[in-house]
Amino acid sequence: MNKKEVLEIRKQYTHEKCSITRICGCYVDGEKNIKTQIKKAFLSLPEEETFKYFNIFKQTLSGTLGKNLLNLEFPLDAENPGGPQEFLLKLRDSKLQDDVLLADFYQKVIKNYYFPENYYIILIHVAYDIPGKSSDGAEMFDASEDVYEYLLCSLCPVKLSKPGLFYNTETNNIENRIRDWIVDPPVKGFLFPAFNDRNSDIHSMLYFSKQAEELQPEFLENMFGCTIPLTAESQKKIFNYLIEDTLGEDCDYEVVKNIHDHLTEMVEETKDSPDPLILTKPDVKRLFELSGVPGEKMENFDQIFDAAVGEKASLFAANIAGGRKFNVETPDVVINVEPERTDLIRTKVIDGRACIVISANDRIEVNGVNARTLTAD
């Protein structure tokens, strides 16, 4: 799914556009015991409750694609009879009316999801009447083409509110506040099937993790049978390794800066695209060559890439780019520069010593004090 497709689904979580048919929930305590369950037609809930659920569903489809939102494909063995994909299809097609399937789903989550505290499993069935689109991209609500039938699951921590005092209007006193169990925003979730090319793709799903580095690979593998993707931080570390291992002893500042500058430029140029910029092995190879990596250093690039990333794997450009930071560090000094102003830093040998030279503008600030710059001789 791309950004436009995720946004299209998120926009449905309002009273005016709501196509949620049913909501089911299961409250689990820290000992993995089911405390209570709900099964209702969604629009039978009080209006103030539905607004709160809408917020939870929107948060389950929030974050950065490739970082918090991961497109996962089911491997062939996961689509075999009796596999995870078939189970999810049965659950979806039941429209959450089958109590046995629901009970099995809850037990699968409880068995495989690691969360040592109380949490709330929320599962909804949705039948979205996909509007057609005109040649200029405008929606035509009277030209519906297909129905996208899907499940959205949100896993929300349930925590005890903080102790405190409150003003009691009935007694006109400041009193001790009663602590309640509060449902927090979701930390994990998924959408099945994926909404690819604005229609159902039963071979894929979208996985949400609030913390990009805490994907819970055991949960992904045991619950869905899906291949575990590299986290955003892992992709960054692997990319840095590719640079260091490819350049070897010739890993100098200028080449690394050039790679950073070109990568930042590529991300900036594609920031408005609905699809995240993904770099395959040939893309990274071209990036290195464009940035001045010598030809002899590229001779073993394919082997280095395959060993670090995988022969057919790819990297999300937004995960490996420096973003809003460009850091230059020595054991004793850290320099932070705006990414677009890396031209202010260069390396130079002065009096036989390797130095980092920073071009100073009209003004510098030292511990909050404005100081004048040195005057050139």
pLDDT digits over 54-112, tens only?
999 999 999 999 899 999 999 988 889 999 999 999 999 999 999 999 999 999 999 99
pLDDT band at 143, cuts 50/70/90?
low
Amino acid at 21: T
pLDDT at 324: 65
Domain-located, residue 377? no
Q: Where are the alpha helices (DSSP H) in 61-135?
A: 84-93, 99-112
Is the pLDDT score of 147 beyond 90?
A: yes
- Segment 317-329 shows an average pLDDT of 77
pLDDT at 186: 97
Judged by average pLDDT, the poorest of 31-40, 234-243, 253-262 is: 253-262
Helix (H, G, I), strand (E, B) or coil at 24: strand
Q: Clarify whether residues 253 and 200 are in a common domain.
A: no
Q: Clarify whether residues 146 and 176 are in a common domain.
A: yes
Q: Clarify whether residues 96 and 182 are in a common domain.
A: yes
pLDDT tens digits, one per residue of 354-372:
788 887 766 777 777 777 6
Q: Clarify whether residues 15 and 74 are in a common domain.
A: yes
Is the pLDDT score of 226 beyond 70?
A: yes
Q: Clarify whether residues 42 and 162 are in a common domain.
A: yes
Domain-located, residue 65? yes
| Cis previous bond, 193, omega within 30 | yes
Give the end of a domain, one of 192, 211, 228: 228
Closest CA to 39 of 82, 99, 84, 120: 99
pLDDT at 59: 97
Q: Clarify whether residues 33 and 79 are in a common domain.
A: yes
Q: Clarify whether residues 210 and 239 are in a common domain.
A: no
Domain-located, residue 168? yes
Closest CA to 346 of 277, 244, 273, 258: 258
Domain-located, residue 346? yes
pLDDT at 142: 57
Q: Clarify whether residues 72 and 138 are in a common domain.
A: yes
- Measured in whole angstroms, the distance separating CA 86 from the mean position of its chain's CA atoms is 26
Domain-located, residue 88? yes
Is the pLDDT score of 254 beyond 80?
A: yes
Domain-located, residue 92? yes
Is the pLDDT score of 308 beyond 90?
A: no
pLDDT at 230: 82
Domain-located, residue 301? yes
Judged by average pLDDT, the poorest of 74-83, 159-168, 304-313 is: 304-313
pLDDT at 320: 86
Tell me the pTM.
0.82
Q: Clarify whether residues 305 and 344 are in a common domain.
A: no
Largest CA distance in the chain: 84
pLDDT at 307: 87
pLDDT at 95: 96
Q: Clarify whether residues 350 and 249 are in a common domain.
A: no
Q: Clarify whether residues 113 and 173 are in a common domain.
A: yes
Q: Clarify whether residues 141 and 251 are in a common domain.
A: no
Domain housing 355: 326-372
Residue environment code for 42-56, b if the CB has 16+ CB neighbours within 10 A, otherwise e: beebeeeebeebbeb
Domain count, the chain: 3
Q: How many helices (H) and strands (E) does the chain have?
A: 10, 22
Judged by average pLDDT, the poorest of 115-119, 151-155, 358-362 is: 358-362
- Segment 116-131 shows an average pLDDT of 95
CA distance 290 to 294: 10
CA angle 150, 278, 226 (to 5 degrees): 45
Give the end of a domain, one of 228, 257, 282: 228
Give the end of a domain, one of 320, 336, 359: 320
Is the pLDDT score of 374 beyond 90?
A: no
Q: What percent of the chain has pLDDT over 70?
A: 94
What are the backbone dihedrals phi and psi of residue 307, each rounded to the nearest 5 degrees, phi first?
Answer: -70, -35
Judged by average pLDDT, the poorest of 18-27, 43-52, 319-328 is: 319-328
Mean pLDDT of the chain: 88
pLDDT at 149: 97
Domain-located, residue 69? yes
